[in-house]
Structure 1
């Protein structure tokens, strides 16, 4: 389903079943957050100041680790599985390239003691002319701890790559309609 982002300045396709989290809780102005309550899957689109200290594939890896840190995930609880280049064909609406990192993180929800294993797909799209990193992340639960509050949310991913399919769909349909957003 086509979804306007940032007041219509951007748009992309968000899979059916994902709700706009801002409808029921505060979301930072630089983020658009969508969640599927039935499966604990999450999509976040973030506009961040371009991180000039990292380049190339390290950009998506940098944000993978930033997300881990914000989730209170220790380095030994996160693993990068793969990093690759998304080409201009993958991002036809932006005519640029991006780097994607796929990895796993063991994180506790709501600071619970039990940790869930989540697969993360993190894409960093560099927009140097507006000094912005557009970061898209997709989180898919792989294994929910039985005592986690998420274990009641439904089944975990039957296909670990469903998050990659979601990410590719978002990237394929991502468009900027108003570059004034970045000023």
Structure 2
């Protein structure tokens, strides 16, 4: 199986681990950046976060899989319980997805080692399966996608972190993805000697670390 080297995010202020086959990509794969910015339009992120963007995208083009880490202004009116499910459902709405079925959701856990000063951080996760067309190609080009989402709530710095992994299950012959991945059911990752996306996601969440709290416009510990 693959190695999981440490990957630097947001100029090294954050780090986590995932395979090298995931390279820096662009968020138009499924118009993820438009969903994020529409739901939570940040004020000038360069002023409050000292980073060029609030989102980092990593893609394995051979499997059409992607891993996205986003920093969003905290949605304070959203309760911790079920917050990951809420983000998944909202994603499905914004992407005009069909057949959104939440298959798993966790309880609320304290995120060990990620509290800021005396304020703890919490995390919830959820998984869903939905049909999404790439770059809004139309319903006839919808791919069946499994989506894994973790919502890490950094309450001490007013930030919702989303770690989202996308794993195609079935590629429509009409999708532009069919040209590079092939149409029909996708080949399980393990059969190709690669780590299943569910495990990539779990490791990325478990290894998530904040190295410099100044990223959030505060003085670090």
Provide the TM-score with structure 2 as the length reference: 0.72
Provide the C-alpha distance between the structure 1 equivalents of 2:114 and 2:187, rounded to a whole number of angstroms: 30
Q: CA deviation at 1:111?
A: 1.9
Which aligned pairs between 1:105-124 and structure 2 lie closer than 5 A? 105-113=130-138, 114-124=141-151
Tell whether 2:202 aligns with 1:168: yes
Distance in 1 between residues matched to 2:14 and 2:99, nearest whole Å: 34
The structure having more radius of gyration, on CA atoms, is 2
Matched, 1:64 2:88: yes
Aligned ranges 1:53-92 → 2 under 5 Å: 53-73=77-97, 76-85=98-107, 87=109
Structure 2 counterpart of 1:145: 172
Specify the SS of the correspondent of 2:16: strand
Query: For residues 56-113 of structure 1, what are the alpha-carbon distances to aligned partners after superposition, in whole Å with 9 as ceiling and x for unaligned?
Result: 332101211232233232xx5311111013745xx55526541111001100012223
Question: What TM-score, normalized to structure 1?
Answer: 0.85
Name structure 1 gaps, 5 residues minimum: none
Q: Which runs of 4+ in 1 moved over 6 A?
A: none
Instruction: Measure the CA separation in 1 of the matches of 2:213 and 2:165.
Output: 24
Count of residues paired in the alignment: 176
Q: Which runs of 5+ in 2 are unaligned?
A: 34-51, 116-120
